[in-house]
Chain A
Amino acid sequence: MPLLEIQDLSVVYPNGTQALKSITMHAEAGEIVAIIGRSGAGKSTLLRCINGLQATTAGKIMLDGDEITAASEAELGKIRRKIGFIWQEYNLVERLPAITNVLTGRLGYNPAWQSAFGFFDSAQRAIALHNLERVNLLHRAYHRADRLSGGEKQRVAIARAMSQQPKIVLADEPVASLDPELAEQVMSVLARVAREDGVLTLINIHHVELAKRFADRLVGVAQGGVVFDGPPAALDEYALNQIYRFDAATLRAPIG
């Protein structure tokens, strides 16, 4: 059975908008999958469904034997430990130092009463330390998150997600707020740590070139449905048109 199994997933927002239309896809441990598509195609909704932040209308999501679409809020809490999430705007706790932000990735594992007093045993801290070191930010450990640059913040966020020792990492536009140089750097760090740990990683990304370079597999989403699913080499002009220019005829009409 694949690690992630999405079957006929549909989401209709309360205002009637159909965000996702009968999405079916599977992914295995260790894969790096880039989800590409235009703004509003449903990429973010898909990721939010996978960690249970978005209520679904129909279909089901199975992750590592758990049915997310049927889980209660308490069960979701347990399941979410296995899901690392990386946000476009980093969402670090700005007033906490980098190392503490990374340690929050261990909150789901460390006994709550210990965490409340700031106590994490050396084994927990070693995991955080290891991940901070892997993203090359050991020297920033005691710097407050709001003192870090954008690229550093996103690397701390990657370390936080990896400290959960997740089965799957969901990254929602992780490099959209970064300049091309840093985007490249952050993507390579994300791909490297994901491969080292063999973690399934789904990355929503606008930038097709970065997607082709760092992902094993691309999934094209347009108008709430999957219109392409294959290796980067298979992404031809036809597929790109399907993903990005499905309404080109109407766009061109007034001009031509």
Chain B
Amino acid sequence: MTTEPLRVRRAVSSAPEMQPEQLRSDLLQPWPRITWRTTVTILLLFGVLIWGVNGTNARPGELAEGIPNILDFIRRLFPPRFDLIPVTLALPSFQLLGLTVPTIGFPSSAILLPEVLFAIIETVQMALIGSVIGIMLAAPFGLLAARNTSPHPWIYQGTRMFLNANRALPEIVYALIFVAAVGLGPFGGVLALAIGSIGSIGKLYAEAIEQIDPQQVLAVRATGANPLLTFFYAVIPQALPVIASYSLLLFEGNIRHASILGIVGAGGIGFIISKYMALFQYTRLMGAVILMILTVTVIDRISDSLRKKII
């Protein structure tokens, strides 16, 4: 950990030195000053936009022609269909440490639940485990990538480069790799989410640690506390609310990411959605989508209220 407590401020803005008379007349101009730099920036931005529009063949005409197809597709999504299956309200007996745990619940009664619900639950489980592993992997990288806690500028630079490289690939690419490595199913998805989380959350952790007030760290150091204890007593308490909040956001994001990984065979609702698409079962697709939206909404609400409690 470096002892340098204060972040280097940007160089003082180059306020023009003018004669008072010139300054007065300049200040009386009704429009804000437009410098050549602003003009060039605006022109460049327009140039980039035009370049993008040209490259993507974005034409309003084609969108207008496509509207009937879009409407037809939306029509075929309705009415949403839920395939219900009976679910026994009981946990079957299982072996634990050589003992047989008896059946818990009501083996004789069953309720009807949508079949896709189980795929959604699997998706949430994937996101949960993937996020937790991702957070554990990302935490050390966050420390190394924060200027004020990194042991050495080279380690800081190197960690930043690694995090950026990791972030360059989306979760679905990691899923392709891990499905090839560990086979089809949710475990590949969990690994993809965990590895895919490092880059994004690690960088956010680093930002959170860099945002802390250095004066408080200085005060704890000044008591004679060693760097590790200073970290526990001055850095962590300040950064923790933001870190916890980012971690919840990661979990929410990973639910969305997890729902697409099934398309490449990494478990969850994505597999079912791609199956319905391929079989033109649009009403079942709509049913799955509605359940997915409900689940994500409920989890986002819970996560929101948790976040409010933390901050």
Contacts and interface: CB of A to CB of B under 8 A. Distances in A.
Interface of A: 97, 99, 118-122, 125-126, 128-129, 138-144, 147
A120 B27 CA distance: 10
B13 A139 contact: no
Interface of B: 12-13, 15-16, 20, 23-24, 27-32
B13 A138 contact: no
A120 B30 contact: yes
B20 A138 contact: yes
Contact of B27 (A119, A125, A144): A125
Given A129-B24, A138-B24, A118 B12 contact: no
A147 B12 contact: yes
A121 B23 contact: no
13 contacts: A119-B30, A119-B32, A122-B28, A128-B27, A129-B27, A129-B28, A138-B23, A138-B24, A139-B20, A140-B15, A141-B23, A143-B13, A144-B15
A147 B13 contact: yes
B40 to A, nearest CB: 19
Contacts of A142: 15-16
A118 B32 CA distance: 6
A149 to B, nearest CB: 13
Residue of A121, A141, A147 ringed by the most chain B CB atoms within 10 A: A141
A125 B16 contact: no
Nearest to B32: A118
Contacts of B32: 118-119
Nearest to B31: A119
Nearest to B12: A147
Given A97-B15, A144-B13, 11 more contacts: A118-B32, A119-B30, A119-B32, A122-B28, A122-B29, A125-B30, A140-B15, A141-B23, A141-B27, A142-B15, A147-B12
Contacts of A140: 15
A126 B13 contact: no
Contact of B31 (A118, A138, A141): A118
Contacts of B15: 97, 140, 142-144, 147
A141 to B, nearest CB: 6
B32 to A, nearest CB: 4
A71 to B, nearest CB: 32
A139 B23 contact: yes
Contacts of A121: 30
A126 B30 contact: no
Nearest to A144: B13
A144 B15 CA distance: 8
Contacts of A97: 15
B28 A125 contact: yes
Contacts of A125: 27-30
A125 B28 CA distance: 6
Contacts of A120: 30
Nearest to A118: B32
A122 B26 CA distance: 10
A121 B24 CA distance: 14
A141 B31 CA distance: 15
A122 B13 contact: no
Contacts of B20: 138-139
A147 B15 CA distance: 10
Contacts of B28: 122, 125-126, 129
B21 to A, nearest CB: 11
